[in-house]
Each structure stands twice: as structure tokens, then as C-alpha cells.
Amino acid sequence: MKKLHVKCSVFVFCFCAAHPFNHLIDTLQTEKNKAKKYFNPQKLGDPKYERLPFSIRVLLEAAIRKCDGFYVKQEDVQNILNWEKLQNEAEIPFSPARVLLQDFTGIPALVDLAAMRDAVAKNGIDPNLINPKCPTDLIVDHSLQIDFSKCAIQNAPNPGGGDGHGATQRSVPGRLSSRSSQCGSSRGGCSKGSCSDAPSSSSKAPVVQIENTPLLCPFHLQPVSEQETALKNQEMELIRNKERLQFFKWCSKAFKNVSVVPPDIGSVHQVNLEYLSRVVQESEGFVFPDSVVGTDSHTTMINGLGILGWGVGGIESEAVMLGQPVSLTLPQVVGCKLVGSISTLATSIDIVLGITKHLRQAGISGKFVEFFGPGVSQLSAADRTTIANMCPEYNATVSFFPVDETTLKHFKQTNFAEEKLEVMESYLKAVKLFRSSDDQAEDPHYSEVELLTSLQVLCVCLFIYLFIYLIIYLLNQVGFKGFHIPREKQGILVPFQHEGTEYTLSHGSVVIAAVISCTNNCNPSVMLTAGLLAKKAKEAGLTVKPYIRTSLAPGSGMVTHYLNASGVLPYLSQLGFEVIGYGCATCVGNTAPLPESVVDAIKEGDLVACGVLSGSRHFEGRLCDCVRANYLASPPLVVAYAIAGTVGIDFEKEPLGLNAEGKEVFLKDVWPSKEEVQDVEEHTVVASIFRALRSRIQVEDFTGPFWNNMDVPDSVLFPWDPKSTYIRCPPFFSKLSKEVSVPGSIDNAHALLFLGNKVTTDHISPAGSIARISAAAKYLQSKRLTPREFNSYGARRGNDAVMTRGTFASIKLQNRLIGKTGPKTLHVPSGQMLDVFEAAERYQRDGFPLIILAGKEYGSGSSRDWAAKGPYLLGVRAVIAESFEKMHKNHLVGMGIAPLQFLPGQNADSLELSGKERFSISLPEELTPQQELTVLTSTGKSFSVVTLFENEMDVAFYRHGGLLKYVARSMLQ
């Protein structure tokens, strides 16, 4: 059993005689380097080591190196070594080499640490003791919004924050105002050609007017150069998020082991792949495998480079930052053997989707997957990272590709120093973490083997899928993947005017098309395929209708570099896919509003309009409230669907469009061959691309004077600004005491919500725009902010007042207590229908604890810690559901909320619950994992539930009132 306290002193390597595995220390000799030490598991002399999967060997090495007798014990090392017998049984610790955060999920973690400093200081403890013990990198990438698209400003909100009135116009300083007035063919600007009458460089540039009108060339009244789009979006991002950026910069100075990568560098996953990845880390004279946990489910893509890592919740990440290992059940490892050859017609994404489909059907939920076999050598490093990225889609924990010659070649091409490559190769071979794909004798033992006998995947599968899906979804009942459109209304056409031209919309019309290259589409080959397709389409005379909201969000400057170097970027831009900036935009709902005429047409015909994106999330309404059907596709298909203007097309039989001569142009006519793509890739994806990124980050000249000259306080404690609407000290540590107040039974609780199946974290804690009639909006308006200054829920995750009011604020929430969609619930005692926050506030005032009733897969979707923090602050004590998404279940435990599961075969309907009863749950003083409890209702009915505490540590967190109090309280001992 784990000890029920946390050791928060600074953890350092204990490489002294007292270390229980001191005898395993070995010395690595290389030609160009000094001798380096490392722990060599082979010196255990146990033949079981070479039978372990490579990913388990990484877990074993970490356990050996971090064995301190407290967090990691010698028995943990033996359990991992005995993986074949104890898999899926033994609980083990894992201490990753680093933590990866993005700003949306990272800011709550850092705000909590700042608040924890305050709490311990009030109890007479040195706040300097509160620091991440594990190196932590935070990449600011999620705050980017598409205010400018095609160089027209799209309802750009004023920079928000604090008390004060928002102006209708603002002067944007720096790059934006100085460049925005330029026009000329040399910059790809005004369509009238070169501006001979343009102002000279000495002329005073007009200020940028932040209003709902296009920015025009003052001489020809034509839109300004599309190349300015990214600059304008970036400038708006910096100004709008100044408070958040100041807090991040303070964190980078005040906390040890915190590194912040500001905006305009790249998305978290690209920066992790291109810059942060090391494969082999060095510290205190020792070398050891790189590993990472991140606050994003797609952290898994780093496994494609032989770096073990996966996504955890914000609450778990805080624990790791504070020195506590991740606790996991020793996983089963499925070996996925790849044989056969790749079809010349398949893109990398097609291969990925084919493997994803196979693994999804294999039932590998919660398991590690490790790839081996001769087919692996045909996959590039980019292919591997893309496959590893898709783990959340087939429910594996990781998809691991051991380091081999292909991996080394990748790092050689990406400007790794020669001496580092030498250390990497020598060390990995010394501890048998290097894989020779041709030597079958090196194949480890696996829990089971999935054999993929052919990698020949054709890209035509998706062409048919969206067409069929649209027909099915139109007919399905309203709900998840269903719109219930009567057959007689499925052929409706709605005419509308846009920029003086008449168009028509129908069910399946594409109104948002976003090419994104941060996760499953970071592979250069598919981005180049999209660019070459755009080039051929333009040359064939095809265009994209101007009302479609198109955008291109590269994962990093590297993507823009090779698109530009290959000559395809101008063609993407001409079709409307211009670079809008670097960061998460469309994926997280930061899409510019659609033209009013389009919105009116959608509403008039009650149309199922569509968004197509090459991102990672596509829940209904996520991209835009009025866009109900969203589809994931590879970058070239996003371009194709944008040209077609509808997903209701069979690409094999129907043309993309007509050229100037009226001739039909089919997709096959403009689809680039694999040879074309490979030729361009070989000549453009070169070491210089990666060298540029590294040099930019290393000199810390991130975003120019704005970031580097930003003033931040030089203080141990953060000076909270009571006027700030972005950063607020959270109440998680209020009334913190040394003694543990054990949670008692839950008596006479009301159900705050009665929910169905597949309630996602988007429903629980929205990340997109803040609706003007929401509880969060009322709060912001009370702070004298206008709706244009609201920003988004994601950007305001550092403010608990906004986030608590935003909990269950999704307009797509289906609460059975009120019988309709919306962020409302029934306040049972009064019979009134109220905002969820207002009802919870009234329940708390009257002293009623709260529970939530739900169906299957509660908390599915992207990791979001506020999906647990919000309910906790609303007063929710327990969630009773048929099943939970594992990460969200862990978050609930981490916040002191009990996850309770109906017994198999039972649910709220079978038990005839109305949700209007009062519920009493008896909790014994000695809680145990997987314990069965009895729930008694006010109607006299009783039923049993099972606690989903996985281990004694989960029980300890719950008893302490959550992980944050657990850690903070240990400092007071």
C-alpha cells in the first residue's frame, strides 16, 4: 500500500552507495565525449530483460534510476522485470523525464502552483519550496484565434481584460500597423498590380481599425496582401492575451524547472517533435531515455521517435511536476507486426487510417502497442509519429516505435549535433533499446500479436465514407451523429447573396474548411500533397467559393518553410488557404464567424452545414454553433471538399467542378502522384528547416519586443490583480489545515443534471466562445467587458469564476431534467428552470450536496481538467454513470469527486430513476478500491454502485479532498 503522504523535498539523483541499484551503474565511452554514466539493466543478469517489449524496458530503467524506497521501491523494479507474469495486475510507478503543457491546460496547473505558494506561505512555510521537480515545458499555442481570414477582419474582438470600456477602434502597434498599409505585386498584394502611387516608406502608416470591415488598399480599394493575415492574427493574439502572457513569463522566472515557449513559434506537438525531443536525456552526469507526459491526449505522437509518452490530465500533470510518479497498472503490450508493401496510390494518412481502423477493431483499449516486423522500415519517422498520434482514436495508451536506423536518419536530417547522435546510438545499443528491424531474434515477447499482412491502403475509402455518412446522419434520430431530417426536406436548396453574387446552400454544404498540420497531419508528405493538389486545381481553373471559411494553420514555421520552398504555398493561398498563424484555432472552436448571409441561409433551411478539417476533434457544434456536421479528412481532401463545396459528392463519379471552358475536372485529374510528392519532399524537407527553428528558440527572440520587453513582477508570490478577468487565485486551498477532514456520507443529494451517453468534456467544460446570454457572460459584463472582449473559455482557464460559470454551459448539452438541448437544468425544490451555475449556487446556499446521473462514456473527448474542477466548485460530490472515460475519471478522483458506476446491466432507465429524487450514498470510513456501495433514494428505492478507485492512492486523494490538497497538506507536516 502506498503511504498516504507526499514527499515534496527536491528530488535529486541519489547516485551514492546507498542507492539500491548502485551496482548497475556503467560507463559509456564514446570517441568524442567524456565518459558518461548510466544504469545498465542488463547487469541485473536476468534473461527476462531481453524478452521485455522495448516500451517496458523504458519503464524498467526509470524505476531502477528513480528507486528511492519511497515513491519507487525495489519490489516495483522486480514487478516490471516480471512483466510477463504480472502484466495487467501489478501497480507500478513511472517517473517521466519531463512534462509537456500547452497554454489552455497549462495555465490552470501553474495558477494552482502559484495559489499553493500562497497557501503554504500563510501557514509559515517557505513558498520557494513549491516548484516543479520535473522539468516542465509550456508552449503557448491554443490562444490563437482567426480574427483575420483572407485579410478581412472577422468580427475581431477588442483585447479584453480588467475593468474598462472596450473601444470600437484600436491602434495595433508594432508589425501590424507598420505593414498593414503596404500594397503591391511584389508582396502578392492588391489585385490591381503594383502600386506606383503607394506611399513611400517615410509616409505615416494608418492605424489598423479593429472593426467588422475588410482592410482595404487605400489606392485601389482591394483587400490587402494575404501574406499579412498571419501577422495580424498574431498581433491580435499578443494584445488580447497580454495578462496571460505576463503570468506565463512570471512563471518562467519565479519557478525553477519551467520553460515557456511563447506564441508564434508553433503548436505544442510540432515543437515537441522538432525541438524538445531528445531520445536520450542527460542530467547530473548520467544519460537515460527521454520520456514525457503531457496535458494533451495527442502527446502520444512522440512515441513514433522512440520516446515513451502519453497524455495525462492537468491534475495528474501537476502531481508529476511536483515530483510524484505516475501510477499505472503494468500494461499489456500488443505487438503489431507489419509486413507487405505500401501502395503507390496511398498517402501517409491513408496508411495511418488503415492501421487505426485495424487496431480499433482489435480491442486494445488501455494497452500499449509496439510495432515491429519488416514493414516498419517502410515507414518514415513522420509516418510513425502520425500513427502514434492516433492512439486516442483506437484507445491504446501508446503506440511505440523503438529507435532504429530510420529514427537515427531522421535526427541526422533534423540537425542533431554529431556528438549527441553518437551518445544516443551508443547508449541505446548498450542497454538494448535500439531495434534492428531485420533481426527477428530481437523480437520481444508480447501479450498478443496483431498481424497486418498488407499495408496497401487506398485513399478512395474516405471519398465514399463522407457521402454515405451524410445520408445516414440526416436520417438518424437527433443525437450523437443524427439530425433527423425528413426525406422530403433533404433536397432543399436555399439561395443567398454574398458579395453581390448569388449562391445556394443545401444539406452537406461545406462552409468551413481548415487545413491544420499539428497532430495527425504533421506529416510533410500529406501537406505537400495538399499544396500540389491546390497547384493543379488552380492550373485547371478551379476555385473555392468565397463564402467558405478557409484557413491554413501550420503546426510550426517548419511547415510554412517547406510549403513555401516547394512553391505550393501561393496556390494554397489563392484558393483561400492562407497561413492564419501558428496555434490551435479551428480545432478548439476559435473560428471566425461565418458571413451573416450564410448563417441566415443555414437557419432558413434548417440545414446541416458541414465543416471539414485535418485536425483531431470534430464534435457537433465545436467549430461553429451553426455548423452541425464536422468531418476529419487529410489535408488534400480538405482542399478537395472546399473546391467541391459539399461533402455530398462521390469523387469517383462526380467532378470537382468545371474549368473556364466548361470542361469537367475530376479529383483524379488533380491528385498528385506519390512520386511527385516524394520528389518535392526530398528536396525541401531538409536539415535547414529544423536548424531555423532551433536557432530561433535558442536565442529567445520569440516574438520580438512584445514578449522580450514585457514587464513582469520579480516576486516569489504572484501579485494577484483583483481586477483581472484572466488570472485569479483559485479557492482550492481555502481553509487548508494539517488535519484530514475525511469526507462523510453523501446525504439527501439532488441531481444537478441527468445526462445520457457520450457526454464529452466539450459538453462539461466548453473551450470555445462565450455565449452572450451565459452565466459567464453575465460575470464578464459585471466587470464592464463588452461581448467583443469576452475571448474564449480556453483563454480564461486561469479564472475560476469564469470557468465555474462555464461548466455545463454547452448549447449542445442534453439534460433529461428539462427535456431539451441547452445549458439549463431544473432546480427541483422550486421547479424553476435555471442556468446550471445558478441552480448549483442555490443548492449550495441551501446546503444540498449534488450528484450527476449519466450514461455510457461519461467524460469522453479531449483531456480537460476544468471538466472536473468546475463540477467540484459547483458542489458535485459524485458522478453515477454506466461507464467513464478513464482520464476524466482520474480527474474526478483528483478533485475529490467520487466516480461511481452502475452495476453491469443496470442504468438510470432500468432502475426507473427520474433524476428528481434525493440520493443518499453511504461511504464507509475505510474505503477500498472497487468497493460496492448502496444508494438510497427519497422514494424508498435502493441500488448498488461500484467505486472506481483503482488503487489506494486514488482512495488517499479522495479522502484528502483531491490531489491538490493532498500535496499542499503534506508541506504542512
For the cut 70, the answer to whether the pLDDT of residue 534 exceeds it is: yes
pLDDT in tens, 389-400: 888 778 899 999
Query: Distance (Å, rounded) from C-alpha 315 to C-alpha 112?
Result: 10
Residue 854: Cβ within 10 Å count: 24
* Rounded Cα–Cα distance for residues 563 and 572 (Å): 9
| Tens of pLDDT, residues 205-239 | 333 332 333 333 333 333 334 456 777 777 777 77
Cβ-proximal residues to 725 (8 Å cutoff; 6+ apart), any chain: 160, 161, 162, 243, 780, 783, 785, 796, 799, 802
If you count them, how many residues does the chain have? 973
DSSP state of 274: I
The mean predicted confidence, pLDDT, of the chain is 81
Which of these, 82, 87, 14, 97, lies nearest to 51 by C-alpha position? Answer: 82
- What distance in Å separates the CA atoms of residue 196 and residue 221, rounded to the nearest whole number? 15
pTM beyond 0.95, yes or no: no
The amino acid at residue 814 is: Q
Q: Kind of pairing, strands 746-754 and 333-338?
A: unpaired
Closest to 972 (Cα-Cα) out of 31, 9, 123, 192: 123
Percent of the chain with pLDDT over 70: 79
Place of cell 482550492: 732
Burial class (CB in 10 A: 0-12, 13-18, 19+), 441: exposed
Q: What is the pLDDT of residues 17-34, one digit of tens each?
A: 489 999 999 998 766 667
**Are the C-beta atoms of residues 749 and 850 closer than 8 Å to each other?**
yes
Q: Which of the four pLDDT bands, split at 50, 70 and 90, describes residue 941?
A: very high
pLDDT tens-digit profile of 515-527?
987 654 567 788 8
Residue 915 CB-density burial (10 A; 0-12 exposed, 13-18 middle, 19+ buried): buried
Backbone angles phi, psi at 398, to 5 degrees: -145, 160
Contacts 24+ apart (CB under 8 A), 464-468: 464/650, 464/652, 466/612, 466/631, 466/633, 466/641, 466/647, 467/647, 467/648, 467/649, 467/650
Dist. CA 429–CA 77, nearest whole Å: 21
pLDDT tens-digit series, residues 231-279: 777 777 777 788 888 999 999 999 999 999 888 777 788 788 878 888 9
Task: Give the span between the Cα atoms of 585 and 573, in whole angstroms.
Answer: 18
Of 58-72, 224-238, 475-489, 957-971, where does mean pLDDT reach its minimum?
Answer: 475-489
Grid cell at residue 238:
499578443
Q: What span, in angstroms and rounded, lies between the C-alpha atoms of 399 and 309?
A: 9
- What cell was used for 825? 437544468
Q: How many CB atoms are closer than 10 A to CB 547?
A: 20
The sign of the dihedral angle between the CA atoms of 394, 396, 397, 400 is negative
pLDDT digits (tens, 9 = 90+) for 627-640: 877 787 888 989 99
Distance (Å, whole) CA 869 – CA 875:
10
Given a contact cutoff of 8 angstroms between Cβ atoms, the answer to whether 607 and 506 are in contact is yes
pLDDT score at 791? 82
pLDDT for the residue 158:
37
Question: Hey, which residues does 549 pair with through a beta bridge?
Answer: 512
859 and 867 in contact (C-beta within 8 Å)? yes
The pLDDT of residue 917 is above 70: yes
- Report pLDDT for 345: 54
Q: Give the per-residue pLDDT at 625.
A: 65
Angle, in degrees to the nearest 10, between helices 405-413 and 381-389: 100
For residue 664, count CB atoms less than 10 angstroms from its CB and return exposed for 0-12, middle for 13-18, buried for 19 or more.
exposed
Spatial neighbors of 711 by CB under 8 A, at least 6 apart, are 246
User: What is the CB neighbour count within 10 angstroms for residue 658?
Assistant: 13
